[in-house]
C-alpha cells in the first residue's frame, strides 16, 4: 500500500527490496488475486485478511490513492484525530476484532503522538491438520534451547506418510504437515546440528530452499513436535534498511502520491509487526498485524523427525506460493494450564457428578476406582499423561488417562495401560 503512493528513488528502493515489478498494475493485480484466493470460502479452515488506513484530520488523501487501496487492497479508510486519546483504543479494537481476539493491541497510548497516517494489515488463520496428532500419545519432555539449556515442553507425536526431505545442501530435514482443505501446509526445517539454527538462518538461500521444497517425497515419518504458543512484536525498520529500503525513513522520502500535507513531506517513522501463533494436536491458530506509521506403513522403513531442538517453520498457501506466516521455535511455551484437583472414591462411575470447587462449579465426570478412597488426583487440563494416586499421603498406584474439556464438563478416560512410546 505504501508503494502505491511512492515515487522516484523511494519507489525504486521499494521495488528492489521487495522484489516488485516496475509495472504497478501488475503488482496490484497480483496482490488482489492472492487476497481473493486466500479469502475464498472454505469450511476446512478460517482465513481473514484486513487492511485499514487511518489518516489524521490534518491530512488530505489523494483520491487516486484512496480508489486504488479500496479496489485492489480491500482496504478500509478512516479519518481520525491522532491527538484524541480515544483514537488508540479505536485502532486496537479493530486489530482485536480482525484477529478474533488473538492480538489485543498494536499501539500504545503514546504511539501516535507525532503520526499523521497509519497503515495497518491484520491476518488471522486457523487450520486443522489433515492428519491430526492424537492427544493420548502426547507426552512431557525436554526441549534443547541452546547453550546447554533444556526446558520442559509438551510434545505431540504420530507416525504417518508425509512429504519429507533430508537436504545435504542446508544440513537440515524438511517436513511438510498439510492442513485440511488442500490449500495450506506448514513446513518445518530442522537443522541436523542442535545448535545449527542461527547458522541455517544466516546462510540459507531462500531460492535454494524453494528448490528443496520441490524435492520432498512421500515418506513414512515418525514425527515428534512440541506444542508451542507465542506472541511477539518486532520493529521492522532495521530489516527494511538492510534490504536497501532506507529513504522512506528520512526527510527525503517521496510519498507525494499518498496525500497533501500542511506539514511538508511525509516519511515513515516505524514499521511494527505483532504476531501470535498456537500449534497443538488439532492444528494451528495464527495471527499477525503489521502497522506502518507515517510519521499405512507395514514393511516400510520409517524416518524419525525429532523436533526437540530449535527449528524454522513457515505456513504457505500452496496454491499461490504465498508464505503467510514464518517464525522460529527456540523455546516452546511450557504448559501453563491450571491444575484440576478432584477426589475419587470407590464405586463412583463415569457420569456420577461431584462438584469441583477449584473450577468454580464445573462438574467433572468421576472415573470408577477399584480401591478404597478417597484418592486425590492432580491433572493438567487437555493433557494425556500419567499420575500417581495417593491415599492418606501414601502412594497407591499410577494411572494413565485422557483428559479433555468441553464447555460444561471434564471427561477423564482411564487407559488400561501405558500409551505406546
Q: DSSP per residue over 192-216, as a string?
A: SSTT-HHHHHHH--HHHHHHHHTT-
CA 163, chain centre distance (Å):
21
Cα–Cα distance list, 17 to 80, 165, 273, 408 (Å): 31, 30, 18, 52
Secondary structure of residue 401 in the 3-state scheme: strand
Secondary structure of residue 233 in the 3-state scheme: strand
CA distance 248 to 179: 38
Provide the angle, in degrees to the nearest 10, between the axes of the packed helices 24-38 and 63-72: 40
Q: Let me know whether 307 and 251 are in one domain.
A: no
Q: Quick check: is 415 in a domain? A: no
Q: Let me know whether 103 and 145 are in one domain.
A: no
Longest C-alpha distance within the chain, in Å? 83
Identify the residue with better confidence: 64 or 355: 64
Establish whether the linkage from the previous residue to 374 is cis, with ω within 30° of 0.
Answer: yes
Secondary structure of residue 326 in the 3-state scheme: strand
User: Residue 106 — left, alpha, or beta (φ > 0 → left; ψ -120 to 50 → alpha)?
Assistant: alpha
pLDDT band at 74 (very low <50, low <70, confident <90, very high): confident
pLDDT value at 310 more than 90: yes
Q: Are 257 and 6 in contact (CB under 8 A)?
A: yes
The pLDDT value given to residue 49: 77
The pLDDT value given to residue 354: 36
Range of the domain at 247: 2-124+232-276
What is the mean predicted confidence (pLDDT) over 375-388?
40
Q: Quick check: is 74 in a domain? A: yes
Q: Are 365 and 411 in contact (CB under 8 A)?
A: yes
CATH classification of the domain holding 167: 2.30.39.10
Tens of pLDDT, residues 176-196 = 999 888 889 999 999 999 999
Tell me how crowded residue 266 is: count the other CB atoms within 10 A of its CB. Answer: 22
Tens of pLDDT, residues 148-161 = 889 999 999 999 89
Tell me how crowded residue 305 is: count the other CB atoms within 10 A of its CB. Answer: 22
Q: Let me know whether 10 and 146 are in one domain.
A: no
Tens of pLDDT, residues 346-358 = 333 333 333 333 3
Identify the residue with better confidence: 137 or 306: 306
Tens of pLDDT, residues 256-282 = 888 876 656 787 877 777 666 667 767
Average of per-residue pLDDT values in the chain: 74
Q: Let me know whether 175 and 255 are in one domain.
A: no
Q: Are 150 and 144 in contact (CB under 8 A)?
A: yes
The cell numbers describing 372, all together, are 478404597
pLDDT band at 284 (very low <50, low <70, confident <90, very high): low
Q: Let me know whether 172 and 293 are in one domain.
A: yes
The pLDDT value given to residue 286: 57
Domains contained in the chain, number: 2
The pLDDT value given to residue 206: 78
Percent over 70 (pLDDT), the chain: 68
The pLDDT value given to residue 177: 93
Cβ density class 378-394: b for 16+ within 10 Å, e for less? ebbebbbbebebeeeee
pLDDT value at 397 more than 50: no
Q: Quick check: is 339 in a domain? A: no
pLDDT band at 164 (very low <50, low <70, confident <90, very high): very high
Amino acid at each position: 500500500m505504501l508503494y502505491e503512493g511512492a515515487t522516484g528513488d523511494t519507489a525504486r528502493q521499494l521495488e528492489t527490496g521487495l522484489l516488485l515489478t516496475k509495472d504497478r498494475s501488475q503488482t496490484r493485480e497480483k496482490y488482489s488475486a492472492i487476497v481473493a484466493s486466500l479469502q475464498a470460502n472454505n469450511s476446512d479452515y478460517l482465513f481473514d485478511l484486513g487492511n485499514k488506513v487511518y489518516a489524521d484530520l490534518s491530512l488530505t488523501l489523494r483520491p487516486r490513492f484512496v480508489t486504488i487501496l479500496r479496489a485492489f487492497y480491500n482496504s478500509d479508510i478512516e479519518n481520525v484525530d491522532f491527538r484524541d486519546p480515544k483514537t488508540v483504543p479505536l485502532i486496537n479494537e479493530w486489530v482485536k476484532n480482525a484477529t478474533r481476539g488473538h492480538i489485543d493491541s498494536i499501539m500504545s497510548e503514546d504511539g501516535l503522538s507525532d503520526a499523521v497516517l497509519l497503515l495497518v494489515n491484520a491476518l488471522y488463520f486457523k487450520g486443522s491438520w489433515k492428519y491430526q496428532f492424537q492427544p493420548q500419545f502426547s507426552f512431557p519432555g525436554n526441549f534443547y534451547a541452546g547453550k546447554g539449556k533444556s526446558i520442559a515442553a509438551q510434545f505431540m507425536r504420530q507416525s504417518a506418510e508425509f512429504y519429507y526431505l533430508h537436504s545435504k545442501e542446508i544440513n537440515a530435514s524438511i517436513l511438510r504437515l498439510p492442513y485440511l482443505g488442500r490449500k495450506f501446509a506448514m513446513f518445518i526445517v530442522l537443522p541436523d546440528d542442535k545448535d545449527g539454527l542461527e547458522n541455517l538462518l544466516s546462510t540459507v538461500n531462500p531460492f535454494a530452499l524453494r528448490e528443496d521444497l520441490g524435492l520432498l517425497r512421500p515418506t513414512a515419518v515418525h514425527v515428534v513436535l512440541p506444542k508451542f504458543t507465542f506472541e511477539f512484536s518486532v520493529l521492522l525498520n532495521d530489516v527494511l534498511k538492510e534490504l536497501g529500503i532506507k529513504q522512506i525513513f528520512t526527510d527525503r522520502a517521496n510519498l507525494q502520491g499518498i496525500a497533501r500535507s500542511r506539514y511538508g513531506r511525509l516519511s515513515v517513522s516505524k514499521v511494527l509487526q505483532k504476531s501470535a501463533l498456537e500449534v497443538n494436536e488439532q492444528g494451528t491458530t495464527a495471527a499477525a498485524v503489521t502497522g506502518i506509521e507515517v510519521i499405512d506403513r507395514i514393511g516400510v522403513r520409517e524416518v524419525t523427525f525429532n523436533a526437540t531442538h530449535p527449528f524454522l517453520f513457515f505456513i504457505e498457501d500452496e496454491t499461490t506460493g504465498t508464505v503467510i506466516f514464518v517464525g522460529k521455535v527456540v523455546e516452546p511455551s511450557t504448559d501453563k494450564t491450571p491444575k484440576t484437583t478432584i477426589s475419587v472414591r470407590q464405586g463412583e462411575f463415569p457420569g456420577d457428578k461431584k462438584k469441583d470447587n477449584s473450577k468454580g462449579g464445573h462438574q467433572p465426570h468421576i472415573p470408577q476406582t477399584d480401591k478404597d478412597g478417597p484418592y486425590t488426583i492432580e491433572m493438567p487440563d487437555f493433557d494425556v499423561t500419567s499420575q500417581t494416586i495417593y491415599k492418606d499421603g501414601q502412594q497407591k498406584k499410577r494411572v494413565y488417562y485422557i483428559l479433555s474439556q468441553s464447555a460444561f464438563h471434564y471427561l477423564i478416560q482411564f487407559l488400561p495401560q501405558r500409551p505406546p512410546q
